[in-house]
Amino acid sequence: MSKTRITRFFLCVVAVLSLTLNSTTGYTEDSVVNVYSARKEALILPLLERFKAETGIDFQLVTGKADGLLKRLEIEGEATPADVFITTDVGRLQRAKSANILQALDSEILQSRVPANLRDNDNQWYGMSRRARVIFYSKDRVDPSKLSTYEGLADEQWRNRLCIRSSSNIYNQSLVASLIEHIGVEKTEAWAKGVVTNFSRKPGGGDTNQLEAVAAGQCDITVVNTYYYGRLLNSGDPEKVAVAEKIGIFWPNQDDRGAHVNVSGAGVTKHAKHPGAAKKLLEFLVTPESQNWYAEVNNEYPVVEDAVTSDTLRAFGEFKADEIDLSILGEKNRDALQLMDRAGWQ
């Protein structure tokens, strides 16, 4: 190929690609919102479709693991097409903030509807649903009056009776981070060692597996996010319902700080090309309808007060939630992980 032919070819390729890209990434004014979501497709797509129907704003979606998407946002920098970043835990939201990929979003609606401890101090992210991680016990083998707090899980009475996920799991990391904040590193480390001696089996599997292990008799107590339990209860599958019915829910630390709660949340990216649409999307996600949807479909607790929630959540009863400043969970994540490494929590 001659030089001019190559030049022409190259320019053609660039032109064609950028045309197709322009049509897909949509640089026109806010007729579209582009979302990077760590929430799985099944738990975000229906809401986006409803958003589109109500506002006429189209959407484009990539789902994935929070860490990967966050890294992608970071590397894409100014050229990123993403407008909104959604995660399922506060640790990653905080990390996105410190990686400087989010922007402050001033919205009266969001600021008035989302309680202060469930959003960022600088308004860079907002909680979208609450997820409580609490104790579950075998109704046959455990007297719930013996249960009290997360701290109590390290007691000798639970020797070889506890199962829980691995320390690679972010919910466990957040829980330990909250303990570090409340009782300090030393006590938390002693606690973690106690918990490790109480393991009835090597950590592994998902939260549902822990519930099933309690029902099967492999262990007597576990710590699980409540929506997994709700899902078993509502599954309509008699075997799964039978598993859930063998298990009771216990809200720990009700006499002091309250039960550990994490949030799923969202923020607008720093280099968003459609900040207006992004703002509308976030506001849409805290409407009572959207908040109810999470309660109904995935048994997550709303962040707003006027949501109706679901029958399942009402059956779990009222509880006192730990009102710790959630950004601390993100900041102490590394400490939590290293502490669990030292304690031998695999």
For residues 297 and 308, is the Cβ–Cβ distance under 8 A?
no
Q: CB 120 → other proteins: shortest distance, Å? A: 18
Backbone angles phi, psi at 36, to 5 degrees: -100, 120
Nearest to 28 by CA among 284, 278, 282, 274: 274
- Return the number of the residue (114 or 336) whose C-beta is nearest other proteins: 336
Q: CB 79 → other proteins: shortest distance, Å? A: 5
Q: CB 256 → other proteins: shortest distance, Å? A: 28
Listed ranges 150-158, 197-205, 282-290, 305-313: which one lies at the site for other proteins (CB under 8 A): 197-205
Under the criterion CB under 8 A, does residue 18 sit at the interface with other proteins? yes
Under the criterion CB under 8 A, does residue 95 sit at the interface with other proteins? yes
CA distances from 119 to 97, 112, 135, 151 (A): 12, 11, 25, 27
- Return the number of the residue (226 or 253) whose C-beta is nearest other proteins: 226
Q: Using CB under 8 A as the criterion, what x/- string covers residues 122-161 for binding other proteins?
A: ----------------------------------------
CA distance 98 to 330: 10
Q: Using CB under 8 A as the criterion, what x/- string covers residues 159-178 for binding other proteins?
A: ------xx-x----x-----
Handedness of CA 115, 116, 120, 124 (dihedral sign): positive
Nearest to 182 by CA among 134, 253, 120, 116: 253
Look at residue 224 and give its three-state secondary structure: strand
Under the criterion CB under 8 A, does residue 7 sit at the interface with other proteins? yes
Under the criterion CB under 8 A, does residue 49 sit at the interface with other proteins? no
Q: What are the structure tokens assigned to 330, written together? A: 């993100």
The angle formed by the CA atoms of residues 65, 289 and 262, to the nearest 5 degrees, is 40
Neighbours of 237 (CB within 10 A): 10
Among 62, 183, 321, 328, binds other proteins (CB under 8 A): 62
Residue numbers at the binding site for other proteins (CB under 8 A): 1-3, 6-7, 10, 14, 17-18, 21-22, 24-25, 27, 34, 40-43, 60-65, 67-69, 71-72, 75-81, 95, 165-166, 168, 173, 201-209, 212-213, 215-218, 228, 231, 237, 243, 333-334, 337-338, 341-342, 346
